[in-house]
Structure 1
Amino acid sequence: MTVTDRRTLRIGTRRSLLATTQSEHVAALVRDKLDVDTVLVEITTDGDRTQAAGTPLQGSATGVFVGALREALLNDQVDLAVHSLKDLPTYPEPGIALAAVPPREDPRDVVVARDGLTLGELPVGSKVGTGSPRRAAQLHALGLGLDVVSIRGNVDTRIGKVRAGEVDAVVLARAGLARIGRLDEVTEVLDPLQMLPAPGQGALAIECRADDDLLELLAALDDPSTHAAVLAERTALATLEGGCSAPIGALAEVAEGEDGPELWLRATVLSDDGALALRRSGSAPLTDRAAAAHLGAQLAQELLDEGADQLRSAPNPQDSTAGSTEVHHA
């Protein structure tokens, strides 16, 4: 197949403002790199329906926004689908291939607080909203005496709770606010030393059918450094078997070393209340994607060897102490 065999590529997207903005970004890349027209096809996911109804997600949120888009792919309703990569399950889906990961936005978390305040400036007992157990655990771990409350909804809904005085602040992904042009509402960008982002945060995933010739063409949209970084993060997540709703953070970055590019990975696993935490960091020469996956798996296994799988249900934090270790791999 050549690109000209298809006059228009159908791009599946969720209906939200952020999702359609992200999908239009990918559509622009497709038009520029592949010289073919595009059309967005809006798909309502189970996660969207649940969110609109205000119903809490049951169990792990892994894949709750993804299934309908993948079904649309397999049913030939769309040619490719765009996801926030952190929403993708870590296990493979039969018939579906990850075709490309474009350059990543800034993966850090941010605070939107009343009166322009930072987390450290909020009074003890201030209500901080988040729907993420990862963010909640790390907020507790900061020891600022904040009242972390669970909230749901899109960006407008969450920021609206701050404006209405229902909460004093919310924690969101910087990437999402950047993509919809609302960075001016951010009152603090959180250093990863304070809060490690979710594996894959800030990156987009472009999927297509595994047997489609389009798979090879879409590789032109892939950013190798971003792909390697998120592969290391997601391999760590898969090894830890945490899923998106577990208190697990990870961030990988590519840097130039003396003998070529190196991949640096940091990961943390916390108890739900943030009282216990294990942290590891490591690096390895970035020779190929297999090296990135190996680093993620090895780092996660070291966390498991230290008891990471027991932290989430630690019954008595007073009986244990948090561990923090650093390792580097040749």
Structure 2
Amino acid sequence: MTVLRLGTRRSALATTQSGWVADQLRAAGHEVELVEITTEGDVSGGLLTTIGGTGVFAAAIRQALADGRVDVAVHSLKDLPTAPEPGLVVAAVPPREDSRDVLVARDGLTLGELPPGSVIGTGSPRRTSQLAALGLGVEIRPIRGNVDTRLRLVSSGELDAVILARAGLARLGRLDVVTEVLDPIQVLPAPGQGALAVECRADRPDVIAAVGILEDADTRASITAERALLAALEAGCTAPVGALAEVVDGEEGLELSLRAFAGTEDGRIDLRRSLTGRYDDPEALGRRLAQILLEDGAADLDRPSTPASRPSEPVS
């Protein structure tokens, strides 16, 4: 192998993440060249829910891999569809950043300190649903744009606050703007949030071996459970979903503790469940918890609500 061509989106966050991966590979003795690729998600001004979801950020880079224009791709794991991509493999999942969401609010306010009627921006149905379920009396406004664009909505006074992933701000060195880190008890993150996926062609054992040094077993186990849950829920409902798996000490060794949420975007139903399972079988854990959520009502969340069928209080 001569030079590893590493495909990345052009945003500041994407190039920062890809630059970190490139630096790790260079430290291991590889020559790396960054190749910037424009995706549909980068050029469209529409909300993700209207332009095809998070997969719009990955499709162009995956095509470049398949075509042989790049050897390696770096994705935010939450941007990857759960369905496998034929011919490609996630060869490494590096150590995860803090997966939690954060609030960036005017005047240094926390979520509980924002007065009723405050306007909070987010482009995520998952965040919208969980915020609405808290019953704080705030208005939630859909937004798009990179990190700087979203932060300017607060500094300009157009919004009172925005919610972002802590991992992105950490990688950009912008944690100073955070006014509160949100407890997952209130707002569970997206499956895979805070983690990176290093992807390459399945027929390139040389590349797979080269990037293998980046692999973190605990992060791989956690995101595998979260994405297995998401995949199983996607087959049974279209409700907003949050999930977080963590490695814990069990009586017989390491285990995975998985928490998940599914609800309605208006916050009327906020269904939360948790389960602990084997560290070495994260997919089974994710599927089991998804089945519990579906049996307990997640399968009905995307059906039209009626006075007879819609609960008056959130399901817990």
Partner of 1:312: 302
Give the alignment partner of residue 147 of structure 2, picking from 150, 155, 166: 155
- Kindly indicate whether residue 99 of structure 2 is the aligned counterpart of residue 107 of structure 1: yes
Partner of 1:296: 286
C-alpha separation in 2, matches of 1:97 and 1:112: 36
* Superposition pairs of residues 81-160 of structure 1, within 5 angstroms: 81-160=73-152
Range with bigger deviation, 303-312 or 203-212: 303-312
Deviations 1:106-151 (A, max 9, x none): 0000000000001110110100000000000011011100000001
Task: State the AA in 2 paired with 1:55.
Answer: G
Task: State the AA in 2 paired with 1:23.
Answer: S
Query: Does the CA contact (< 8 Å) of 2:239 and 2:301 recur in 1?
Result: no
Which ranges of structure 2 fall in alignment gaps of 5 or more residues? none
Query: Does the CA contact (< 8 Å) of 2:229 and 2:287 recur in 1?
Result: yes
The alignment partner of 1:69 has SS state of helix
Instruction: Give, in angstroms, the shift of residue 317 of structure 1.
Output: 7.2
Which ranges of structure 1 fall in alignment gaps of 5 or more residues? 1-5, 325-330
The alignment partner of 1:107 has SS state of coil
C-alpha separation in 1, matches of 2:153 and 2:289: 38
* Superposition pairs of residues 219-238 of structure 1, within 5 angstroms: 219-238=212-231
C-alpha separation in 1, matches of 2:201 and 2:124: 30
Partner of 2:39: 45
Instruction: Give, in angstroms, the shift of residue 312 of structure 1.
Output: 3.4
Range with bigger deviation, 24-33 or 89-98: 24-33
Task: State the AA in 2 paired with 1:105.
Answer: E
Give the alignment partner of residue 26 of structure 1, picking from 14, 17, 21: 21
Partner of 1:64: 56
Query: Does the CA contact (< 8 Å) of 1:276 and 1:317 recur in 2?
Result: no
Deviations 1:75-121 (A, max 9, x none): 11111000000000000111111111000000000000000001110
Instruction: Give, in angstroms, the shift of residue 253 of structure 1.
Output: 0.4
C-alpha separation in 2, matches of 1:61 and 1:82: 18
Instruction: Give, in angstroms, the shift of residue 74 of structure 1.
Output: 0.8
The alignment partner of 2:210 has SS state of helix
Query: Does the CA contact (< 8 Å) of 2:125 and 2:265 recur in 1?
Result: yes
The alignment partner of 1:137 has SS state of helix
Partner of 2:159: 167
Task: State the AA in 1 paired with 2:247.
Answer: V
Task: State the AA in 2 paired with 1:296.
Answer: G
Task: State the AA in 1 paired with 2:73.
Answer: A
Give the structure-2-normalised TM-score: 0.95
Deviations 1:134-184 (A, max 9, x none): 000011011100000001000000010001111100000000000000000
Q: How many residues align?
A: 311
Task: State the AA in 2 paired with 1:264.
Answer: S
Instruction: Give, in angstroms, the shift of residue 248 of structure 1.
Output: 0.4
The alignment partner of 1:253 has SS state of strand
C-alpha separation in 1, matches of 2:307 and 2:102: 28
Query: Does the CA contact (< 8 Å) of 2:17 and 2:171 recur in 1?
Result: yes
The alignment partner of 2:6 has SS state of strand
Query: Does the CA contact (< 8 Å) of 1:107 and 1:197 recur in 2?
Result: yes
